[in-house]
Amino acid sequence: MSLNEISVATVKGIGPTLLEKLQASHIHTVADLLESYPNRYDSYDIIDLNLAKHEEKITIAGQIVVPATNSFYGRQQSKTQFSIAIGDAIIKVIIFNRAFLKNKLVMEAPVTVTGKWDLSRKLMTATTLKLGIHDDDGIVPAYRLSHDLTSKTFQKMLHTAYTHYHRQINDDLPQHLIERYRLISAADAIKFAHFPENNEQVKQAARRIKYEELLKFQLKLHVLKKKIKYTKTGFSKEADDEKIQHFMNQLPFELTTEQHRVLKEITTDLKDAARMNRLLQGDVGSGKTVVAAIALLFTITAGYQGAIMAPTEILAKQHLTALTNMFACLPDYRLAFLSSNIKGKKRRDLLAELAAGQIHLLVGTHSLIQEEVIFSQLGLAVIDEQHRFGVDQRKKLRQKGEAIDILMMSATPIPRTLAISAFGDMDVSSIKELPLGRKPIQTFVIGDTKLADAQKFIKEQILDKGQQVYIITPLIDESEVLEDLRHATLVYELWKDAFKNIATVGLMHGKLEKSEKDEIMHDFAENNIQILISTTVIEVGVNVPNANLILIYDANRFGLSQLHQLRGRVGRGTEHAYCILLSNATNAEAKERLGVIAASNDGFEIAEADLKLRGPGDFFGSKQSGLPTFKMANLIEDYKILDVARQDAYEIMASDEFQHNPDFLPLRDYVTRTIANENHQFD
Ligand code: ADP
Ligand code: MG
């Protein structure tokens, strides 16, 4: 029996309580357990400071030269600061919520500090602090665990499982590929990934595991795409060209060449009997909505219903307003809006009319995928900000009709090369230029020393022009939501103070309830709040045309694409728009990256540069991009391996080998099994 058929319950020491926790983390089989790789490795080996890279997590040791001081803020939050000497260098250390250590952190005390290294500021933000010098802990894998599983328990389970089952770890890769790339065996890869003795083992494990994951992914895409191409199970739609022409004539603008081009790609799909599965990507403001509107009209005139789903009520309402205006010239077609706020009789009536086919276009939120929502004949479903929806949610929408066409939209431009390998089972249309007449947003990069000048400028904008302002505070990684909040709160206090009697300052962050967030956003849209301090939770598609200035703290910590996204909040009105990037980074790489943003307003260009420079905190690396995720590989960071895997997959599929050579049997089984089990696009 293979390890993906053996329950984790067979592992010694895993009783009912642990089993439940594991299952909640989607770990069911021994294979699932062994393939739950660390999300990072912490090194507690003391390193030479001169070799440390910016933002790297490192351990250093030295003697205290400036004793600790505590500062307190918020509810029981504290920050302790001190400095240590290492050779000639003096390093400042910050640690949160360890105020009790102050009395030990005295002059000349030796300490070992582990944390994130800020090269330009010569600053350590510590996560671990030990008194004395400790250089004996080696490499420690860190796991992203939930449901109060501790790393220690998890490691123990892994060890028991590995010891008992390692002989049954099969090598899915054919021998010739293992040899071609000098890969270590599957069993060794698992051993080195979980119990490494040195960095080289970590590296070899990663090379092997990532290659295998990406090769399997590419093979799967090939098979899926073939399957899709040869199944013409959709409906071919015959539209009423006259009505579409009429609709286009009454638009207040001409479509751009790019809009015409992608529209053609979409309508060709709609006419074809194969089901459409297309991603429409384009910068914020590139005019995707009108393209979607025409595709929906096309579908409606062909006798089907249309639907458009957005991730939040605010976005859905924005679509409703835009679509209602556009469809005003065709009063025979009925639009309706559905969200969780539509209740009682109104909701019942709407659902009845929808099921009877009396509503032609339904606009709304997640509510659209509820079971009670039944269409009479849905032909096209549009999903805006598609990456904000889970695979299951997208699948539910697909199942609202028989063989419906799907159009997904995204404002995160992804370079074409990457889009092909990431979304191999999807076709991609890209709008590459903004409509004419848009004023480019002027972008400045400044250091903290210029913050006072920036505030003066912002005061003028608010007082003289009645403008509103976004202030974005640092992005730390997901696991550090609390720290994000801490920064945002500090910044909020600062601006509230500086703008007393001048402007109302609001604060928005990830710990707020959804209703609270909506309320603050609403207040901002209504100009009850002039300065909105926010973490990156701020909505991607939100439109507040009176906000024409955005200031981003610690801009060097963001990925380029994310900076571009954030900048897209402004420049939506008629006024001149500005983006101020605060950064104290002095290293050449950070300067180059911010230079790209300052010089370009083109999302695709920026995405390409992002891909090449791939700085820390890269946007594509995170969940928000909607790219597929893997157990270890990352499409961006590992794009070189991805390239190799793509070519290998192509080669394998082009010959008969894959179907007939027994060497490929494990891979073949894998592909067949996962395609059968997963919620892929054509379920
Ligand atoms: P997004 O791609 O971000 O969804 P929208 O569809 O909301 O962009 O379009 C942004 C704005 O641009 C809207 O106000 C829309 O009316 C306008 N717009 C769209 N296409 C054109 C065009 N071809 N010429 C001028 N303005 C346009
Ligand atoms: Mg949009």
Q: What is the structure's pLDDT at 206?
A: 96
Identify the nearest ligand to the CA of 573 by its number.
Answer: 1
Instruction: Determine the residue type at 665.
Output: L
Q: ∠ at Cα 546 (543, 549), nearest 5°?
A: 95
Q: State how far the Cα of 341 lies from the Cα of 351, in Å rounded to an integer.
A: 14
CA of 435 to the centre of ligand 1 (A): 7
Enclosing H/E stretch for 578: strand 578-582
Q: What is the pLDDT of residue 223?
A: 84
Asked if residue 188 lies in contact with residue 205, where contact means CB atoms within 8 angstroms, the answer is yes
> What is the Cα–Cα distance from 243 to 261, expressed in whole angstroms?
20
**What is the C-alpha separation between 588 and 606, in angstroms, rounded?**
18
Residue 431 pairs in a beta bridge with 282
Q: Is the dihedral of CA 314, 566, 418, 172 positive or negative?
A: negative
Res 530: pLDDT: 97
Which residues pair with residue 533 across a beta bridge? 471, 507
Give yes or no for residue 435 CB within 6 A of ligand 1.
Answer: yes
Q: In this structure, are residues 377 and 353 in contact, taking their beta carbons and an 8 Å threshold?
A: no
Residues of the chain with pLDDT under 70: 74-75, 136-137, 147, 228-232, 416-417, 420, 424-425, 475-486, 539-542, 613-628, 677-683
**551 in Cβ contact with 533 (< 8 Å):** no
> Which of 89-117 are b and which e, b meaning 16 or more Cβ less than 10 Å from the residue's Cβ?
eebebebeebbeeeeebeeeeebbbbbbb
pTM, entire model: 0.69
DSSP string computed for 489-511: HHHHHHHHHHTTTT--EEEE-TT
The separation between the first and the last C-alpha atoms of the chain, rounded to the nearest angstrom, is 28
β pairing state of 57-73 and 77-86: antiparallel
- Cβ 430 under 6 angstroms from ligand 1: no
Angstrom distances, CA of residue 250 to CA of 254, 325, 327 = 10, 10, 10
The per-residue DSSP string of 356-398 comes to TT---EEEESGGGGSTT---SSEEEEEETTGGGS-HHHHHHHH
What distance in angstroms lies between residue 106's CA and the mean position of ligand 2's atoms? 56
Residue 290 alpha carbon to ligand 1 centre in Å: 7
Q: What is the largest CA-CA distance in the chain?
A: 84
Which of 565, 267, 275, 263 lies closest to 441, judged by CA?
565
The CB of 411 under 6 Å from ligand 1? The reply is: yes
**Cα torsion 475, 476, 482, 483: sign:** negative
Rounded to whole angstroms, the Cα distance separating 383 from 293 reads: 12
CB of 285 sitting under 6 A from ligand 1? yes
Q: For ligand 1, is residue 251 a contact (CB within 6 Å)?
A: no
Using the Cα atoms of residue 523, residue 527, residue 528 and residue 532 in order, give the sign of their dihedral. Answer: positive
Which atom belonging to ligand 1 lies closest to the Cα atom of 291? 6
Distance CA 586, CA 126 (A): 21
Tokens of 262: 């992608």
Rounded to the nearest whole angstrom, what is the distance from the C-alpha of residue 286 to the centroid of ligand 1? 6
d(CA 591, CA 293): 41
Closest CA to 38 of 139, 142, 140: 142
Residue tagged 């974005």 (tokens): 472
| Protein residue with least CA distance to atom 1, ligand 1 | 285
Q: Report the alpha-carbon distance of residue 397 to residue 675 in Å, rounded.
A: 20
- Cα separation, 262 vs 252, whole angstroms: 20
**Distance between Cα 224 and ligand 2 center (Å):** 29
Note the residue count of the chain.
Answer: 683
Measured CA to CA, the distance from residue 477 to residue 484 in angstroms comes to 9
Number of the ligand 1 atom closest to the C-alpha atom of 290: 6
Structural contact between residues 323 and 308, judged by C-beta atoms closer than 8 angstroms = yes
Whole-angstrom distance, CA of residue 485 vs CA of residue 96: 13
Instruction: Report the alpha-carbon distance of residue 61 to residue 129 in Å, rounded.
Output: 10
Residue of the nearest CA to atom 18 in ligand 1?
287
| Nearest C-alpha neighbor of 68 from the set 104, 36, 40, 41 | 104
- 3-state SS assignment for residue 230: coil
The alpha carbon of 296 is separated from its chain's Cα centroid by a whole number of angstroms, namely 28
Residue 255 in contact with ligand 1 by CB distance below 6 A: yes
User: Which of 402, 393, 335, 334 shows the shortest CA–CA distance to 368?
Assistant: 393
Summarize pLDDT for 264-319 with one digit per residue, the tens. Answer: 999 999 999 888 889 999 887 889 999 999 999 999 999 999 999 998 888 899 89
The three-point CA angle 514-408-327 to 5° equals 85
Ligand 1 atom index nearest CA of 289: 6
pLDDT of residue 561: 79
Q: Report the relative pairing of strands 57-73 and 110-118 from DSSP bridges.
A: antiparallel
